[in-house]
Amino acid sequence: MSARPPRVVGRRGEIARVPFSVVNPATEQTIVELDEAGVDEADQAVARARAAYPAWRAVAPNDRARLLRRLAALVEEHGEELARIESQNVGKPIVGARAEVGMAADVLHFYAGAVDKHHGETIPVGGGVDLTFREPLGVVGLIVPWNFPLNISSWKLGPALACGNTVVLKPAELTPLSALRLAELVLEAGIPEGVVNVLVGPGRVVGQRLVEHPDVAKIGFTGSTEVGRGVMRGAAGTIKRVTLELGGKSANVVFADADLERAAAAAPYAVFDNAGQDCCARSRILVERSAYDRFAELLVTATGALAVGDPADDATEMGPLISADHRERVASFVDGDVLFRGDVPEGPGYWYPCTLVEATNDDRIAREEVFGPVAALIPFTDEEDAVRIANDTPYGLSGSIWTENGARALRVARALESGVLSVNSNSSVRHSTPFGGFKQSGFGRELGLNALDGYSEVKNVFVAT
């Protein structure tokens, strides 16, 4: 079946009358021009999702699972195409983009399989029978950032659809292309019209409208902590449910008893992956003082070996930043003791070099999310000091612990105020394991079976017998 046009709400909005360009950050060339949606279009998208809701929630679980499986299969089948779209629109290396598309397919397969495994229970009570049901919420608004557009869309779409909700998906203005293609595949999979609606427009206009709209039951948001605060405030008017996945300033804690070679070889990928535009970036590298000099030397060598260049090239490991404005913001963080600054390609593209800065945890570079290829190296004296520094941040999203001492690894993992940790690894996300933050990195969990709790409501029914 050929793809019908996506339900893109793209008619020119009242507020933004100028079509906007979607740009390739590696070339600064326009890929396509789109019209921005405004408040009216947001309302239309919500109305369509609302109209589609009764029929979608009534679809038998088997059939809903089958439709999600078909969508997952289509994402796999169109994997190379989606990876190229994502690579061009975000400027991310094609190899990484392929892996992200693979993960999006895994996520959709996982939630297809979860449709009939997330259910209520019977609770022993006197005088009758007590039952709980997992009910869908209704229309949910999914607001997605520009760093992992397709991946993060799938993390929200999978559980939302599996639970029987209909959705309005709002990609970031800079990176709407993979969501638009996904919307076509949704239809091709046989998921009915109106179940998934993609809304391309400015966050402060259409995103805000979704947040305040009385017919939207929940917002699943990933983005900056600052906008996340506004989402929480905006959602208060209608007591909307919110899941917030926000910024991070995660620590990569390297003890002197770690395999230093392995830790140093991995550390650049923990912070320069996706050009550092990753909420899980371990952008504070904490190193035990007795191993500091040796580790710094190894880290500089490993960072210098990163292949920075054309995202379309299979050998490339780091591409440009998302935009010129963002590059300016990233650059504003770098002063002080620069230990290493890499090279970038000449010519067009929003390039910024891999940068290592020696810092203290009080420096701005260690306090705020840079969201670029800039890491702060910070020494610590012992385990207690490491935990103190790692936790001395308003954020709490991810982090790594490098040590050959298993008991210490567990002790430190329990002590860190962070939602997602890895030991002797950079790994943060898997389709089957919970992902989300402590403190100002947000709340609610994505991925794994936990995400289903965020897209359903528990109903309790007592039947007197």
Under the binding rule (CB under 6 A), the answer on residue 230 touching ligand TXE is yes
The residue (of 145 and 444) whose beta carbon lies closer to ligand TXE is 145
Is 245 one of the catalytic residues?
yes
The gap from C-alpha 46 to its chain's centroid, in whole angstroms, comes to 23
Give the one residue of 208, 303, 426, 456 binding ligand TXE; rule: CB under 6 A.
208
Q: Is 179 in the site for ligand TXE (CB under 6 A)?
A: no
User: What count of Cα atoms within 13 Å lies in the side-chain half-sphere of residue 37?
Assistant: 30
Q: Of 38 and 164, which CB lies nearer to ligand TXE in the complex structure?
A: 38
Does the footprint of ligand TXE cover residue 436 (CB under 6 A)?
no
Q: Does the footprint of ligand TXE cover residue 369 (CB under 6 A)?
A: yes
Active-site residue among 279, 354, 368, 446? 279
Out of 231, 253, 357, 429, the only residue in the binding site for ligand TXE (CB under 6 A) is: 231
**Considering only residues 25, 194, 247, 309, which one is a binding residue for ligand TXE as defined by CB under 6 A?**
247
Phi, psi of 429 (to 5 degrees): -125, 135
Mark the segment that binds ligand TXE (CB under 6 A) among 143-151, 192-200, 254-262, 411-419. Answer: 143-151
Binder of ligand TXE out of 9, 143, 168, 186 (CB under 6 A) = 143
Alpha helix segments (H runs only) across 24-138:
39-58, 61-77, 79-90, 94-114
Of the candidate spans 205-213, 343-351, 386-394, 415-423, the one that interacts with ligand TXE by CB under 6 A turns out to be 205-213
Q: Does 419 bind ligand TXE (CB under 6 A)?
A: no
Nearer to ligand TXE by C-beta: 53 or 371? 371
Using CB under 6 A as the binding rule, whether residue 245 contacts ligand TXE is answered as yes
Closest CA to 163 of 204, 217, 201: 217
CB of 231 to ligand TXE, least distance (A): 6
310 binds ligand TXE (CB under 6 A): no
Beta strand pairing call for 216-222 and 196-199? unpaired
Q: Is 163 a catalytic residue?
A: no
Which residues, in sequence order, are CB contacts of 72 under 8 Å at separation 6+?
105, 106, 108, 109, 112
Q: How many residues bind ligand TXE (CB under 6 A)?
A: 25
Q: How many CB atoms lie within 10 A of CB 312?
A: 16
Q: Answer yes or no: are the C-beta atoms of 34 and 22 closer than 8 Å.
A: yes
- The secondary structure of 352-400 as a DSSP string is ---EEEE--TTSHHHHS---SSEEEEEEESSHHHHHHHHH-SS--S-EE
Q: How many C-beta atoms surround the C-beta of residue 301 within 10 A?
A: 13
Shortest spacing between CB 399 and ligand TXE, in angstroms: 15
In angstroms, rounded to a whole number, what is the distance separating the alpha carbons of residues 355 and 353? 6
In whole angstroms, what is the distance from residue 21 CA to residue 36 CA?
Answer: 10
Identify the CA nearest to 248 among candidates 418, 382, 364: 418
The reply to whether 163 sits near ligand TXE by the rule CB under 6 A is: no
Instruction: Confirm or reject binding of residue 189 to ligand TXE (CB under 6 A).
Output: no
Task: Name the nearest CA neighbour of 57 among 460, 428, 455.
Answer: 455
Closest CB to ligand TXE among residues 3, 16:
16
Give 359 or 374: the residue with its C-beta nearer to ligand TXE: 374
Q: At its nearest, how many Å lie between ligand TXE and the CB of residue 417?
A: 17
Closest to ligand TXE by CB, 114 vs 376, is: 376
Nearer to ligand TXE by C-beta: 64 or 240? Answer: 240
Strands 355-358 and 374-380: parallel
> Which window, 17-25, 30-38, 85-93, 243-251, contacts ligand TXE (CB under 6 A)?
243-251
Q: Quick one: 158 or 437, whose CB is closer to ligand TXE?
A: 437
Q: One symbol per residue from 274 to 303: x for binding ligand TXE (CB under 6 A), - otherwise; what is it?
A: -----x------------------------
Q: Is residue 344 within 8 Å of 26, Cβ to Cβ?
A: no
Evaluate whether 74 touches 44 at the Cβ level (below 8 Å).
no
Q: How far apart are CA 128 and CA 131, in angstroms?
A: 10
Residues of this chain that bind ligand TXE (CB under 6 A): 143-147, 170, 172-173, 203-204, 207-208, 211, 222-224, 227, 230-231, 245-247, 279, 369, 371
**Residues that are catalytic:** 245, 279
